[in-house]
Structure 1
Amino acid sequence: MTLTTAPNLQIAEHRCPDCAQPFRRITGFVHRDDAPYAVFYASCHHHDGNDVLLDAVFGTWDRDDHSDHVTFGCRIGPVPGQPGPAVQLMPAAASFDPAPLFGRRLTTDEAAGHPRLDDFRELVQHVLSTNTVIAEHLRGAPHP
């Protein structure tokens, strides 16, 4: 089974509600074997070094019913004593207002025990290995 990112990525500039610094949010759709699979939101912040807050929503995408949607969240960035960025689960969609699209927003503990955790890990790896904007941000490159 192959993951691909749809070519219509959206990149928007925002201000962090916590620190008031500008950040970029990349929104993209991921397909599995050419079928809609998940949507992700990658918020590229400058908190403790460059980090990314990534949320991914899994569910059915061919109707307006979001009752089967589940959202995972993680932070990708520097961790003391760790070479390179690390991925840490965190509460899902914490920086977003409530919206039906997110369905069930998982807590860190819920995500750690969720049957779709491996799907989320695979999606995170896919996004990190294919999205140059996120990769450059994590390497510390300034925004153009």
Structure 2
Amino acid sequence: MIDESSRQVRQFVCPCCDTDADRTWATIHRDGTALAVYFASCYHHHGIHEVWIDAILGSWGQDRFDDHLTFGCRVGPVDDSPMPAATLVNGGEVAGDSPIFGRKLSREDGLRHPRLPEFWQVVDLILEQDDLVHRHLYGPAAPHGG
């Protein structure tokens, strides 16, 4: 479940195409325990709606980041599909060097990592529960969860 009390949103200008974009981030809990923190950036690249998500899996609430892993994906249009699809990418590629990101996984490392299924569960949750991301990809009238 997304912790709405931790959710933040800010607007910024995309450095590659000079258009307005939105970034949302929050903590995700499972069974009362913080599971992940995510950053989802919603872009309008050349009229194409896409979201780039970095999710940091690990322990939270301590000042240690040695078990943190950052996965990344792009969600947006793909060939031969009427619906957006998620594609694994390098994690934290545009993020700074903050220790919070822990080990930033390349696409190749992410595809082999045993926590990859957990990352996809986090992505599904974001797509279903983060209103900004959901509206950006599916439009304002789209029902949640579908």
Tell me how far 1:7 sits from its aligned partner: 1.3
1:27 maps to 2:25:
yes
Seq. identity, %: 36
Cα distance in 1 between the residues matched to 2:62 and 2:27: 16
Equivalence for 1:39? 37
Cα distance in 1 between the residues matched to 2:13 and 2:31: 35
Cα distance in 1 between the residues matched to 2:18 and 2:111: 31
Equivalence for 1:97? 96
- Contact 1:29–1:39, Cα closer than 8 Å, also in 2: yes
1:16 maps to 2:19:
no
Cα distance in 2 between the residues matched to 1:20 and 1:95: 16
Equivalence for 1:133? 132
Cα distance in 1 between the residues matched to 2:61 and 2:135: 33
SS of the residue corresponding to residue 6 of structure 1 reads: strand
Give ranges in structure 2 of 5+ residues lacking alignment. 141-146
Equivalence for 1:5? 2
- Contact 1:6–1:28, Cα closer than 8 Å, also in 2: yes
Tell me how far 1:139 sits from its aligned partner: 2.5
Equivalence for 1:115? 114
Tell me how far 1:62 sits from its aligned partner: 2.2
- Contact 1:58–1:70, Cα closer than 8 Å, also in 2: yes
SS of the residue corresponding to residue 133 of structure 1 reads: helix
The letter of the residue matching 2:34 is: P
The letter of the residue matching 1:7 is: E
Equivalence for 2:144? none
Q: Which runs of 4+ in 1 moved over 4 A?
A: none
Tell me how far 1:96 sits from its aligned partner: 1.3
Query: What per-residue deviation string (whole Å, max 9, x for no partner) do you get for residues 89-142 of structure 1?
Result: 00111111111000000000100110100000101011111122111101256x
SS of the residue corresponding to residue 73 of structure 2 reads: strand
**How many residues are paired up?**
138
Q: Structure 2-normalised TM-score?
A: 0.90
Q: Structure 1-normalised TM-score?
A: 0.92
